[in-house]
Structure 1
Amino acid sequence: MSKKTLVSAITAALVVGAASTTFAANNPFSDVPADSWAYDAVSTLAADGVIDGYPDGTYQGQNTMTRYEMAQIVARAMAKTDLEKADKALVDKLAAEFADELDNLGVRVADLEKKSDNVVWKGELRYRYVDASSDATDRMSGHTKKYNDNDTSQVMFRLEPKAYIGDTGWTANVRVDYEMKADEDANGKTVVARAYAKGPIGHNTTVTAGRIPLLDTYGMLLDEHMSGAQIDIASGSDKNFTTSLLAGRYNPGHDNPDILPGQTLKDFTADFYATQFNYKSEKFDANAMYAVMTNIEPGSTNWGTWAGQTVYDYDKMNIWSVGGLYRFDNNWGLLGQYAVNTESDNSDDKQAYMAELQYKNANIADPGSWGAYVAYRHFGKDVTIATTYKDVFNNQKGFAIGASYVPVENLLASVKYFDGKDIDSDTDADRFYLNLDFFY
């Protein structure tokens, strides 16, 4: 669907009913004659204000359409209030597909939701099974038993309400997670993982403040939350360049009330500052980030792990990161990222990098869709703080493969396998991961 006339005709027929008998009063474009197969669709879209042409009165349907041009069509379709249920469902799917472009254009994807209800409830029910083993010994106790040799079975229930604050464009957002150990039939913890406000201030600028998501673009370094604020500034002719500024307080043990003897949670809380740059185009995305974390050391010794988290043995982290995603075609893509902590004196742990070859993509709105990948990852613990990649732990390196499949709408099944080593001990490690996600 690279031709503008074809995309417009499909959009018109399925989204705004352009295949009806409604015609524009006059021929809207000089290069779309009345006997063209696309005339009805194009003229109706033009009359409805969904598409427009060029200043010279032409439509130029032979030109390749960019994702941003398609996003403009989707944005105008979103503004229509008289959509049928099936049409609204398709608009929602298109809005999800072009969410980044719509955001950069200053269009709120949730406009359709806002028209129907001031508070929107979404969530997730997840079952996860992990079988992980490692030949490294338990450094905390000095025992010779294998460290991290276990399997876990976990159920997580998530609620994510979002409330619209009048017509300001601002929203109040919350994420509440409840976890339990399925293999023990034991209740776990309930955590308010996020609670923040988000909205525009001025031209092309968005602010997020509160307990906010803390995530680098590709998730290699961070998939967490912190108390603070983030400012996103869109620029460029297509609003495809974004500058993000973050500042706040981050605690690696914030979801666990336990403390070490003589320590308080405040002793573990770090000051966090970051600048991130993102560029997006049809074929290539690029990212660069600089992050500083201070006061992260809990004491004068290396505590190994605490509350299931890596506890760092230094006062400061200076992280530089670059990455990119290149799309060869609609199926194949290559993702790469590199990061280094310039404050680390550990030659083994101060770097993190990965390369991932991707094939297709599992879309929860498209039953039968699937995707797969093969990757090499090296996640030094002195730089990967809380990686979002579940096939490899921090302080591990090796190869990973995985696949995802959507058997029915809003159900995502994923399987992953890792075979490699623990970096600091250079001992063998592997991991099998199974995940079932039900979205609503």
Structure 2
Amino acid sequence: MKCKSIGVLVMALTVFFTNSVLAAGNPFADVPADHWAYEAVNNLVADGVLTGYEDMTFKGQKEITRQEMAMMVARAMVAENNVEVSSRDKQAIVQLAVEFSDELNSLGLRVNRLEQQADLITWQGKVEYTYKQARGDLLVGRDSSNAMLLRLEPAASLSANWQVRARLEAASELSRDETGTVNLKRLYAQGDYASWQMKLGKLPLYTNEEGLLWDGQYSGGQASFGGGWKRQQGAVLTLLGGRLSPQELPSSLGLVSDEAADLFGVNLDGTKKKGTAGVGAYRLKSDSWNKAYFAGENTATIWSLHGAYRFTDRLCLSGAYGENTKANSQDTAWQTELVYGRYQPEAQGSWQLYSAYRQLGEAVAAAGTGDALHYGQKGWEVGAKYAPWKNVGLILKYGDGEEIDSHQGVKQYFARVECFF
């Protein structure tokens, strides 16, 4: 019955987004207001790379032509030679130039210099301090931590469409005066084209449920097809496969092996007007994982739904649901979140408030993004994000809930300072 329902929903989503996909295939189609290039150009303006923005504004929700967008990209390429540009902005300009290379060529501005930058390595990253404190009926006193994290993300261009990306991290617990060890978390090749994207290597694992299931990495490959690899418009089909290490799951789950599990998955999602919706299905299998995720046949089969609706540029309501059909307990997870505001660390003064309810069954959401509530818990969560200075962010979260099985109360306080470069 569940498979039949999923099939009906997939068919409905496919029909719903078909018209937009056809439009996205037209190289002379208008650029929609939610195109990723809008945000990229806005960031260049906020960073002072582009000036005179009001003369060619597209801050409204109207669509513009690709030729008009190419004019903005051309101005950014010229401005790059006249002002100091960060590595993040340089990378954005390269990506914009690749996306609109045909239009730039038609304007007489060649992008051959991108080939000269093939060996250029750009760096970006962050430093963050995180304080957590947990209180609960089962805890004696307070369980707290003070953690520092250094994250470095280099990217090297191989050609106009391909680049190699990596992530290195060093974490330390200040209360124990630890010295962090640098670990290579990700290393993968990425190819970006007009209507598809490919990733190969040790790559991000963050599926369309927006962090409900996973927020980590795995080894393998991923391919996305459809209305743009950043969900620009229409439907996007994503296929993924590879190996998932047990280190990506909490040790408290009781996995008894260091061997990685086979992971296969598919996402179908997309955006039309103010709405986003999608489905997902995943299969994990390991002969040696016999705890938590795997209750029968050493296999986990998880399916999911998610959706969001943006009422205004600042107000958005979203939700996601997942179920592990092989698990015997805590086999479902779901969350709903209301967000007001738009937090962008690169924009000084930007802020965001949110309120959420989460039920995070550990057989489904064990590797999710949760900070104020985590796997095996359910309850309310509220939070705020604020950028007092450019590239500096403050985050506060509070979770009030209970353990799903024991119903013992739990409270979690979370505070973070993050600095981007």
Question: What interval of TM-score do these two structures reach, taking the shorter chain for normalisation?
Answer: 0.7 to 0.9
* 8 Å contact kept, 2:191–2:197: yes
| Distance (Å, rounded) in 2 between the aligned partners of 1:255 and 1:374 | 26
| Distance (Å, rounded) in 1 between the aligned partners of 2:288 and 2:380 | 31
TM-score, structure 1 as length reference: 0.71
Matching residue of 1:379: 360
Match of residue 192, structure 1, among 179, 184, 203: 184
Q: Extract unaligned runs of 5+ from structure 2.
A: 1-31, 103-110
Match of residue 248, structure 1, among 221, 239, 242: 242
Larger radius of gyration: 1
Q: 1:102 to 1:149 in 2, by over 3 A?
A: farther
The alignment covers a number of residue pairs equal to 361
Q: Which has the higher contact order (CA 8 A, sep 6+)?
A: 2
| Distance (Å, rounded) in 1 between the aligned partners of 2:353 and 2:289 | 40
* 8 Å contact kept, 2:216–2:367: yes
Q: CA deviation at 1:78?
A: 2.2
State, as a whole percentage, how many aligned pairs show the same letter: 25
Q: CA deviation at 1:77?
A: 2.3
Matching residue of 1:29: none
Matching residue of 1:327: 310
Matching residue of 1:33: none
Q: CA deviation at 1:389?
A: 2.6
SS at 1:186's partner residue? coil
Matching residue of 1:31: none
Q: 1:95 to 1:162 in 2, by over 3 A?
A: closer
Q: CA deviation at 1:313?
A: 4.9
Q: 1:326 to 1:255 in 2, by over 3 A?
A: closer
Q: 1:174 to 1:185 in 2, by over 3 A?
A: same
Q: 1:86 to 1:285 in 2, by over 3 A?
A: farther
SS at 1:187's partner residue? coil
* 8 Å contact kept, 2:293–2:364: no
Q: 1 or 2, which has the higher helix percentage? A: 2
| Distance (Å, rounded) in 2 between the aligned partners of 1:85 and 1:318 | 52
| Distance (Å, rounded) in 2 between the aligned partners of 1:128 and 1:174 | 23
SS at 1:77's partner residue? helix
Q: CA deviation at 1:147?
A: 8.4
1:271 equivalent to 2:262? Answer yes
TM-score, structure 2 as length reference: 0.74
Q: Give the 5 Å matches for 1:8-23.
A: none
1:368 equivalent to 2:349? Answer yes
| Distance (Å, rounded) in 2 between the aligned partners of 1:370 and 1:234 | 32
Q: Give the 5 Å matches for 1:308-327.
A: 313-314=295-296, 315-327=298-310
* 8 Å contact kept, 1:74–1:94: no
Letter of the structure 1 residue corresponding to residue 79 of structure 2: L
Q: CA deviation at 1:342?
A: 1.3
SS at 1:82's partner residue? helix
Matching residue of 1:52: none
| Distance (Å, rounded) in 2 between the aligned partners of 1:231 and 1:364 | 29
* 8 Å contact kept, 2:134–2:413: yes
Q: CA deviation at 1:234?
A: 1.8
Match of residue 153, structure 2, among 152, 155, 160: 160
| Distance (Å, rounded) in 1 between the aligned partners of 2:85 and 2:264 | 40
Q: CA deviation at 1:229?
A: 0.3
Match of residue 65, structure 1, among 62, 68, 89: 62
* 8 Å contact kept, 2:294–2:300: no
Q: CA deviation at 1:188?
A: 3.4
SS at 2:145's partner residue? strand
Match of residue 83, structure 1, among 67, 79, 84: 79
Segment drifting more, 359-368 vs 230-239: 230-239
Matching residue of 1:35: none
Matching residue of 2:334: 353
Matching residue of 1:339: 322
Matching residue of 1:306: none
1:281 equivalent to 2:280? Answer no
Letter of the structure 2 residue corresponding to residue 65 of structure 1: K
1:234 equivalent to 2:234? Answer no
Structure 1 residues 113-164: Cα deviation after superposition (integer angstroms, max 9, x where no partner): 987671100111010000013334xxxxxxxxx3895101000001110000
Q: CA deviation at 1:280?
A: 1.8
| Distance (Å, rounded) in 2 between the aligned partners of 1:366 and 1:86 | 22
SS at 2:79's partner residue? coil
SS at 1:183's partner residue? helix
| Distance (Å, rounded) in 2 between the aligned partners of 1:189 and 1:84 | 36
* 8 Å contact kept, 2:70–2:100: no
Structure 1 residues 28-59: Cα deviation after superposition (integer angstroms, max 9, x where no partner): xxxxxxxxxx9xx57xx9xxxxxxxxxxxxxx
Matching residue of 1:435: 416
Matching residue of 2:135: 133
Q: Give the 5 Å matches for 1:253-264.
A: 253=247
Letter of the structure 2 residue corresponding to residue 248 of structure 1: G
Matching residue of 1:122: 124
Q: 1:338 to 1:186 in 2, by over 3 A?
A: same
Structure 1 residues 196-221: Cα deviation after superposition (integer angstroms, max 9, x where no partner): 001147x6221101001001121111
| Distance (Å, rounded) in 1 between the aligned partners of 2:365 and 2:100 | 32
SS at 1:407's partner residue? strand
Q: Extract unaligned runs of 5+ from structure 1.
A: 20-37, 46-60, 137-145, 303-309
| Distance (Å, rounded) in 2 between the aligned partners of 1:255 and 1:103 | 37
Match of residue 164, structure 2, among 167, 172, 194: 172
| Distance (Å, rounded) in 1 between the aligned partners of 2:360 and 2:101 | 35
